[in-house]
Amino acid sequence: MKRIGVFADFHCGHKNGLTPPDFWGGGKKIKNNLSERWMWFVRSLKDEGPFDAAIVLGDMVDGPGVKNGAETIINLNQQAAAAAEIIKTIGAKKNFLVYGTPVHTITGGGFEIEKAVADILGVEIHGQIWINVDGFILDCRHHPAGSSQVYPGNPLQKERESNVRWAEENVQPKAHIILRGHVHKSFQIGEPGVWQGIACPALQDFGCVYGRRLSNVVHLGWGTLDTQKGVWPVWKTYMAPRNQEAVLSL
């Protein structure tokens, strides 16, 4: 059996992202939040590891802070180093990386921050990858098709249809498991034993300026995919504890 850790949307360097201790900045409340998130993350890795491989589905860094109103707590060079430190902490035997959203990961001068993360780790990074694990093809990319609050499985269904069409053109391999990040929420859809689409939870919480305009539920965590020849892969998620919003009184 192989165990694969699947991680998405660190948004490392953001005040509500996932950031290692050596890079914590901001005031006391921000540092406390970062510490709480990091301690949970490390505990969850110890509980569920070790990993034969890690798949990181983009938005490893928060970048220049264009969307979030400059809520980043460390500079871009530090973000690359910190994101690489997260992946080293995961400690998988092999790492597979894909690019995230350009507004987070590319500077105004065109510098690819996630390419710097890959260079630090000495691995490749791609826009989309396909991995054969025990005879099952994993299709891995950051962006899914457009999402829906009412029918959250729709984007993954669209991804399946696109993959089938590309496969008919002999361009992409036909995938059994489709893995996507970006939407910061966890859901699944598919046909048992035929295909499965998985949207992964994020490792950035919702407390940011950009998040004020969003209604969709945010899921905070990561997942594992266990594979074995002849046995359909098993997906599990590991969710971080959440704080309930306070109710104001008049």
**pLDDT above 70 for 229:** yes
Percent of the chain with pLDDT over 70: 89
- Which pTM does this prediction carry? 0.91
**Any residues with CB less than 8 A from the CB of 171 and at least 6 apart, and which?**
none
Query: Distance of CA 233 to CAs 6, 117, 197, 227, Å?
Result: 13, 29, 12, 5
pLDDT score for 150: 47
Taking domain 2-239, whether its CATH number is 3.40.50.720 is answered by no
Query: Distance of CA 202 to CAs 11, 65, 167, 221, Å?
Result: 9, 18, 29, 6
* Pairwise pLDDT comparison (38 vs 69), residue with the higher score: 38
Give the other-Cβ count within 10 Å of 85's Cβ.
Answer: 18
**pLDDT above 90 for 93:** yes
* Pairwise pLDDT comparison (65 vs 192), residue with the higher score: 192
